[in-house]
Amino acid sequence: METRRFPMIEKQPEITALCPWCGQGKTFADKPADIRVSCQCPFCEKFYKIDFSTMRAIKIRPKPNSQK
């Protein structure tokens, strides 16, 4: 009996965008593209948007909680 092993492929993302708030959270992309991605930083839990065509990270302020 032999155990089949799948080849392990390691791929480095070509683009790394850092969180504009804390500089720790990272968002990866394979290649530049004309897309914008909104995400939440896992470190500071703030939101930001990355424009992968210009490689700019834009801070997003979530809607302020309405006073109740």
58 binds Zn ion (CB under 5 A): no
22 binds Zn ion (CB under 5 A): yes
Residue burial 1-27, b: 16+ Cβ < 10 Å; e: rest: eeeeeeeeeeeeeeeebebbbeeebeb
43 binds Zn ion (CB under 5 A): yes
41 binds Zn ion (CB under 5 A): yes
Beta bridge partners of 27: 17
Tokens standing for residue 44: 């500071």
Among 44, 47, 49, 60, binds Zn ion (CB under 5 A): 44
Please choose, out of 2-10, 11-19, 31-39, 55-63, the segment that lies near Zn ion by the rule CB under 5 A: 11-19
